[in-house]
Structure 1
Amino acid sequence: MTSTAPGLAAIRFALDRTSPVPLYHQLAQQLEAAVESGLLTPGDQLGNEIDLSVRLGLSRPTVRQAIRSLVDKGLLVRRRGVGTQVVHRQVRRPLELSSLYDDLDAAGQRPTTRLLRNETVPAGAGVAAALAVPEGGEVTVLERLRFTHGRPVALLCNYLPAGLLPLDTGRLETTGLYRMLRSTGVTLHSAHQSVGARGATAEEAARLEETTGAALLTMRRTAYDDTGRAVEYGTHLYRASRYAFDFQLLVRP
């Protein structure tokens, strides 16, 4: 039998029954705040709806609706035989020229990497066009699985001009590609990037611990250095359940 989270007992719920804000929404907001503050941490159990409804003096449907809203936001998950658990907060990444590793590290997400592929291959038409190299010419391809808190969040595939920099397996699994580029004197200047979405194939789903057909965010990016040379072309897949891109849109004067 799984016990409820110690942090749950420490939460002082303040529900205002005279407020126009629905009680389920008040409960959801306070549970979300507990996750954000670290009072409830990934893997913590919330117990069952009956116990929580009795403790708070709320109807079971009210508690169920609050939990469902947080499941929909990706903060909680219902697992058969386990119950309702806190999961890792969805990673929100600003859409700018930075690496996933740096963004995760800055957000305290403790990124780790598993290197799946590191080899020299002939450039296909699309890769050759992106990197401005002859079709069939040599390029380096890297495939990596990026994790946060021990769970996969992204499957990364990057192509680089052959010989651009030493690509040591140890460093590729302990730091980000852009950090490695900068450490060799490459100054990243700009990039062309497109974002989309599609369903996961069976192989992608297995690697990302999703179900086949689950929603994945896609990103294609060609990065350029300060001389205008293409130094990296990436095709990345992100779990939509744990990842989002943030856009800031400005009105043209």
Structure 2
Amino acid sequence: MIDRQSPVPIYFQIEEYIKQLIENQALKPGDAIPSEREFTETFQVSRMTVRQAITNLVNEGTLIRLKGKGTFISDQKIEQPLQGLTSFTEDMQKRGLKPGSRLVHFGLIPASAGTAHRLNINEHDPIYEIKRIRLADDMPMALEIMYLSANLVKGLTEKTVNQSLYSYIEKTLGLKIGHANQVLESSVARAEEAKYLGIEKNAPILLIQRHTFLENGAPLELVKSTYRGDRYKFVIDMKRG
């Protein structure tokens, strides 16, 4: 199992061993892995070496640590292509998962100067502030905070927000969504994000900030979404030239 003559670091060999167990389905999503002490005794290596291997797998999302419970095999990550502008609901339905939302906050607030500028409205104009947890098969996937002009997107209710907002905007209001600018970066979960997503504070997350426009160029929304790093990954297909 461990080749001490190999130039490959022992911690990396342990990582590959655990990944092989997953590929062979000896360990499945939700299963607990052996303890650090068990790995130490099995491989006759230091606990520090074992801990480095496990930490690396946690950081890449293969494993997940649950405080007070242990370390487990993560569920398979959901892949989200970065091409095309789709809603969370549409993405989950395409994957055969049940989309859902848990509303944390919904209300009208006056637009700050910065938000008003980006939405092309006047400062203090009414805007919707929506905070919701996005679910897939009832599991928290992302925490989303959204701002929309109340004079543009009229008649929003809590019921509408808990369903597909894009569907309401296009089918009910007759507005045509055109394009969006997105910024994607890695980060770590703050206390509030960890609480709503069911992860540990400082766990890896994916942060996306989206500025969406209608076909006529009018700004539609500002969205900040925090995705669980252990359950989500984004992919992009790139062509040369």
- Pair in the same fold by TM > 0.5: yes
Aligned to 1:104: 92
In the TM superposition, what are the counterparts of 1:185-204 in structure 2 within 5 Å? Answer: 185-204=174-193
One-letter amino acid of the structure 1 residue matched with residue 166 of structure 2: Y
Paired positions, count: 230
% same residue: 29
Given candidates 197, 203, 208, the residue that maps to 1:219 is 208
Q: Distance in 1 between matches of 2:68 and 2:146?
A: 39
CA deviation after TM superposition for structure 1 residue 209, in Å: 2.4
Does the CA contact (< 8 Å) of 1:77 and 1:85 recur in 2? yes
Q: Write the deviation string for residues 4-59 of structure 1: whole angstroms up to 9, x where unpaired.
A: xxxxxxxxxxx9xxxxx998677545444466xxx934x3445679999xxxxx85
Q: Which residue of 169, 182, 187 maps to 2:170? A: 182
Structure with the bigger RCO (C-alpha within 8 Å, sep 6+) is: 2
Which residue is 1:10 aligned to?
none
Pick one of 69, 72, 76 that aligns with 1:89.
Answer: 76
- The verdict on how the C-alpha distance between 1:85 and 1:136 changes in structure 2, with shifts beyond 3 A counting, is same
Q: Distance in 1 between matches of 2:142 and 2:155?
A: 23
Distance (whole Å) between structure 2 residues aligned to residue 191 and residue 80 of structure 1:
38
Which stretches in structure 2 are left out of the alignment for 5+ residues?
Answer: 2-7
Asked if 1:166 is matched to 2:143, the reply is no
Match of 1:235 in 2: 224
Q: In structure 2, do the counterparts of structure 1 residues 134 and 217 end up closer, same or farther at CA, with 3 Å as the change threshold?
A: same
TM-superposed deviation, 1:151:
3.2
2:4 corresponds to which residue? Answer: none
Distance 2:15 2:205 in 1: 28
1:70-89 aligned within 5 A: 71-79=58-66, 82-89=69-76
SS in 2 for 1:108: coil
Alignment RMSD (CA, Å): 3.7
Q: List runs of 5+ in structure 1 lacking aligned partners.
A: 1-14, 16-20, 53-57
Which letter maps to 2:144?
Answer: L
CA deviation vs aligned residue, 1:67-121 (integer Å, no higher than 9, x gap): 7775454233355765553332223211131122321232234332111112111
Contact 2:64-2:230 at 8 Å conserved across structures: no
Task: Give the Cα–Cα distance (whole angstroms) in 2 for the partners of residues 217 and 155 of structure 1.
Answer: 11
User: Which residues of 2 match residues 10-49 of structure 1 at below 5 A?
Assistant: 27-33=17-23, 40-41=28-29, 43-45=30-32
CA–CA distance in structure 1, aligned partners of residues 179 and 61 of structure 2: 32
Give the match's secondary structure for 1:186: coil
**CA–CA separation in structure 1 for the residues paired with 2:63 and 2:98:** 20
Rounded Cα–Cα distance in structure 2 between residues aligned with 1:203 and 1:143: 12
Shift in alpha-carbon separation, 1:214–1:69, aligned structure 2, 3 A:
closer
Determine if the alignment matches structure 1 residue 121 to structure 2 residue 119: no
1:90/1:116 Cα in 2 relative to 1: closer, same or farther (>3 Å)?
Answer: same
| Distance change in 2, residues 1:221/1:81 (3 Å) | closer
Give TM-score scaled by structure 2 length.
Answer: 0.74
Q: Which residue identity does 1:234 align to in structure 2? A: V
Alignment of 1:131-146 (within 5 A): 131-146=119-134
When residues 192 and 27 of structure 1 are mapped into structure 2, their CA distance, relative to the original with a 3 A threshold, is same
TM-score (norm. length: structure 1): 0.71
Equivalent residue letter for 1:156: E
Following superposition, the deviation at residue 134 of structure 1 comes to 0.9
